[in-house]
Structure 1
Amino acid sequence: MKSLHDMSEGPAPARVSLDGLFELAEVLGALMQRGMAERGLTTARAGVLWALFHDGPMTQRALAARRGVTPRNVTGLLDALQEEGLVAREAHPTDRRATLVSLTGKGRTFTSGLRGGRDDLAAMLFADVPLDQLDVFNALLVQVTERLRDVDPAGGA
């Protein structure tokens, strides 16, 4: 099998692949932005909900680190989410200096709905893709994502 370094004729497959990734990012990003806006969310607020949904309750400081934002920034996000009844803040049970953040029942229901929408989209996009091709696609996505994180470790928080 030829590597990209061996190919000298025609458009470089790597450039074509990167162009495809840019187009995918643009289309998927627009779709996500629309879906979040319809639900009254920003990307940052959705990221907070998603982190709490997947990782469970955590301190504000841990949440800020997980999202790659300042503690002050996460405070503003949590203020808005708490006002909507999606998150709750309470004293940490073992560290009196920390505040523990968790999803409320409404927040879990809301985020489960987001996950359901994601699952429906995944089913629509990949329903007829053979499993072996999907496995290769997923492995390649992991490889490309890791390389991008190596280039920009601060990106993709």
Structure 2
Amino acid sequence: MREGTASASVSLDRLLELAEVLGAMMERGVTKHGLTRARAGLLWALFHDGAMTQRALAARLQVTPRNVTGLLDALEADGLVARAAHPTDRRATLVSLTESGRTLTVGLRVGRDTLARELFGDMPAAQLAAIQDGLETVIARLCAIGRASG
């Protein structure tokens, strides 16, 4: 960016453009696997955090338990997740990835890792660190704004 062109408004415009581009890429990526972004997010949560109750999934995804039920119904019908009785709480249902769900999620991670290498693989460490630091600050501020307004 040329000297004198950096401003808060220009920076926000660039972030919004980035969000649009990444959102469209994510949408295409999950759609080619027959998923929605919400379903992919649920699979990703199970992949990273392991089996959990439907209530824990709802909290993790910051959605209602009813929303999780709908997502799980579709993912279970596709053979990507399985629900079972919780071993110690008979009122709870435990959700886990099936082998097909795990395979699909590993594929999503490979795609993510490939994109990361294409974007950042040859970037100098100092520049990459500056991007990460800046993004951490922006994310923290957005979270604080969201908490204050919500």
User: TM-score, normalized by length of structure 2?
Assistant: 0.92
Partner of residue 56, structure 1? 50
The Cα of 1:140 is off from its aligned counterpart by 1.2
Structure 2's unaligned 5+ residue stretches are: none
Counterpart AA for 1:67? L
Output one character per residue of 1:85-128: Cα deviation in whole Å (capped at 9) or x when no partner: 11010000110000000101111110000000000000001111
Counterpart AA for 1:49? L
Partner of residue 76, structure 1? 70
Counterpart AA for 2:69? T
What RMSD in Å do the two structures reach over aligned CA positions?
1.6
Partner of residue 82, structure 2? 88
Counterpart AA for 2:46? L
What SS does structure 2 have at the residue aligned with 1:152? helix
- In 2, Cα distance between the equivalents of 1:153 and 1:40? 34
Partner of residue 67, structure 1? 61
Partner of residue 41, structure 1? 35
Q: Which runs of 4+ in 1 moved over 6 A?
A: none
- In 1, Cα distance between the equivalents of 2:147 and 2:43? 23
Number of residue equivalences? 146
Partner of residue 22, structure 2? 28
2:131 paired with 1:128:
no
User: TM-score, normalized by length of structure 1?
Assistant: 0.89
2:136 paired with 1:147:
no
The Cα of 1:134 is off from its aligned counterpart by 0.7
Identify if the C-alpha distance between structure 1 residues 103 and 141 changes in structure 2 by more than 3 Å, giving closer, same or farther.
same
- In 1, Cα distance between the equivalents of 2:111 and 2:147? 29
- In 1, Cα distance between the equivalents of 2:33 and 2:147? 30
